[in-house]
Amino acid sequence: MAVQVDMNLEEAVLQFILENPGSLKSVISEAFRLSDYRLHRVFRHINRELDGCCLRHDATNGVWVVNIDSGMCLGHEWVGAGNGGFRQCHEKPLFSDGRCYKHSEFENPELTAFKRRLTYLIGPCDPNPWHLTQLSLDAVEELFQTLRRISPMTQKDFDERIRLLKVIISARAWLKWKDLMRQRGAGNRIPPEFEQRHRSSSVNTFEYSIRKYYVILEISPDSTKEEALRAWKRLAKLYHPDSSAGKASDEEKMKEINYAKDRIFRFRRWD
């Protein structure tokens, strides 16, 4: 779309961006046949003219945003390259940062407190299920119940809550499984629903397949080489077909244990 420049170039550009706030830089360049360099120079002049408006270069999106209506959400939305790029969101601002549910950076104070508590419990890290398995099943259950009661205030809260719930649910499944194993004795295989959960919630299938081998050896993923060896020996004694102690002796199980040990040692680069 070429724009006829029948007035002063700066005025024309100013009018264009006021009419199309959020346009991609490339759209403006093309409309006025300006190089990036010349466009920058024009904008430098225009900045002074924009009384009460905010002209902002959004580096991630390569877009110039003019927030002209403070009665609307200050976030912007992608409307497609064909429509110029970004437009100011038309929702009502609901939060103190002048943004709507979807765009607000506001966080429910309860969620902030919850995250602070989590950091206190497991240390400053991006929480994953294994961090949480250091805690007791009761503690994890309590975290789950607390988080479940927090209602999200913004889209950001909503996404964060889902992410944390997934981590906690996964840790809870693992702790429950360990508990079950303790009750049943070491002879049982992984309950199929537990395997299923891991597979379906898997982001990195490789990591989760390694995880399975830790479960088979009944050790935690941060175990030392010595701990892994000890666990393997203990299980081997239990399952070795020639073992006298092997009341549960089972050739298939023995193969599984050996394979798990093999995979973990290879993965951790032990020899």
Tell me how far, at minimum, the Cβ of 216 lies from Zn ion, in Å.
Answer: 49
Residue 65 as a binder of Zn ion (CB under 5 A): the answer is no
d(CA 99, CA 182): 51
Neighbours of 91 (CB within 10 A): 16
Give the 3-state secondary structure of residue 86.
Answer: strand
Break the chain down into helix, strand, coil percent, rounded to 5.
Answer: 55, 5, 35
Nearest Cα residue to 70 out of 104, 86, 51, 93: 93
Residue 91 as a binder of Zn ion (CB under 5 A): the answer is yes
User: By C-beta, is 16 or 95 nearer to Zn ion?
Assistant: 95
Give the 3-state secondary structure of residue 138.
Answer: helix
Which listed residue (21, 75, 84, 129) binds Zn ion by CB under 5 A?
75
Residue 260 as a binder of Zn ion (CB under 5 A): the answer is no
Tell me how far, at minimum, the Cβ of 112 lies from Zn ion, in Å.
Answer: 21
Residue 97 as a binder of Zn ion (CB under 5 A): the answer is no
Residue 73 as a binder of Zn ion (CB under 5 A): the answer is yes
Question: Do residues 70 and 54 lie in contact, with contact meaning Cβ atoms separated by under 8 Å?
Answer: no
Residue 93 as a binder of Zn ion (CB under 5 A): the answer is no
Which listed residue (14, 100, 173, 238) binds Zn ion by CB under 5 A?
100
Alpha-carbon torsion (71, 72, 75, 77), positive or negative: negative
User: By C-beta, is 103 or 198 nearer to Zn ion?
Assistant: 103
DSSP 195-227: HHHHHHT-SSHHHHHHHHHHHHHT--TT--HHH
Residue 103 as a binder of Zn ion (CB under 5 A): the answer is yes
Neighbours of 256 (CB within 10 A): 18
User: By C-beta, is 60 or 183 nearer to Zn ion?
Assistant: 60
Interacting span for Zn ion (CB under 5 A) from 97-105, 183-191, 202-210, 259-267: 97-105
Tell me how far, at minimum, the Cβ of 23 lies from Zn ion, in Å.
Answer: 18
Which listed residue (13, 28, 89, 175) binds Zn ion by CB under 5 A?
89
Tell me how far, at minimum, the Cβ of 88 lies from Zn ion, in Å.
Answer: 8
Strands 76-80 and 55-58: unpaired
User: By C-beta, is 66 or 100 nearer to Zn ion?
Assistant: 100
Contact footprint for Zn ion (CB under 5 A): 73, 75, 89, 91, 100, 103
